[in-house]
Amino acid sequence: MTEWYYADRQRRQIGPQPAEALVQRFRAGEIDAATLVWRDGLPAWQPLGSLRAELGLEDAAATLDFRIEPVLAASVPPADATPAAAPGGGGVAPASAGAYSPYSAPVAMMDVRAGADPVHGGDVVMAGLWRRFAASVVDGLVTGVLSYALLIPLMLVFGMSLSSLAQNELAGAGASVTFLFLNYAISFGVPMLYFAWMHSSGTQASLGKMAVGAKVVRTNGEPIGFGRALLRYLAYLLFVLFTCGLGVLISGLMVAFTERKQALHDMLCDTLVVDKWAYTDRPEWQERGLGTVTVVILVLFALMFVAMAVAAIAMIGLLSSMKW
């Protein structure tokens, strides 16, 4: 039986596998006509579309697009490129001007298709309410630490300034207004910049979303830019402020009951929160359940919440028993 290999979008060599498995991956949309494949006997890696007759895909030619992506022509290494070792120990597959091998090209050429368009087709797992809530717990801790790391020195500096300006009423009032302005700027600005930067980065996820295995994308699967990520958080913040905090509950209910698990700020900004393997060439690696990390975060949060509730009840009981 002939064993085949193919190069995925991350330039990893996958295989060996039978031709039937390769055909199934093609029909499922996991690979396409431009995917580079190799088997023992081929002089170099070839686009899958050029071997459709051998793989028995001629019957699908009428309904499937076998055009080779233009990027291949631009990525062809020179004829005297360094030969690449054929996978599986089948000898040496020399590079040629007519076929591109990701294993013989220079490192710069291997990155030509890095960050390629998202892989469409197949199932997409949306991150539901509890995964997003667990992510928000982690992100809340991160943004809280970052904010207080800036606010504590600010309070110390302005505390000393106000004490020294106590004799001057006008100067003291100006310092108080400045402190309040900086306080709000840090409290709102740090989370806004954090989420905008992280969601538009290569990970497409904040630290909390990375922990639970989720990411933020456009509704067509594409990554979001910094501007859209900034507006997404701003829309959420304004919604929460204008509803006096009820926006948090409303967003949670929308995530729980809408078809694509979208909150209002997702709908306004054309975004989705999906599993980190969605819109990639590994959709089968998506996690449908909560996942271990999510469960651990939720359990720790529940324990912390119970401990705080018990402490509050104990404090109320202690104060009520005291004689004033």
CA pair distance 239, 247, nearest whole angstrom: 6
108 three-state secondary structure: helix
The pLDDT assigned to 160 comes to: 67
The pLDDT assigned to 145 comes to: 95
Give me the phi and psi of 219, to 5 degrees please: -70, -15
Low-confidence ranges of the chain (pLDDT < 70): 1, 10-11, 58-118, 120-122, 160-172, 324
CA pair distance 197, 128, nearest whole angstrom: 23
The pLDDT assigned to 164 comes to: 64
Q: At what angle do helices 169-199 and 226-242 cross, to 10 degrees?
A: 120
CB-based contacts of 84, cutoff 8 Å, min separation 6: 44, 45, 92, 93, 94, 95, 101, 103, 104
The pLDDT assigned to 127 comes to: 94
Exposure string for 225-252, b = 16+ CB within 10 A, e = fewer? eeebbbbbbbbbbebbeeeeeebeeebb
- pTM given for the model: 0.62
Tokens for 55?
């793989």
- Domains observed in the chain: 3-110 (3.30.1490.40), 129-314 (no CATH)
The pLDDT assigned to 310 comes to: 95
- What are 268-286's pLDDT values in tens digits? 999 999 999 998 888 888 9
CB-based contacts of 82, cutoff 8 Å, min separation 6: 95, 104
The pLDDT assigned to 45 comes to: 84
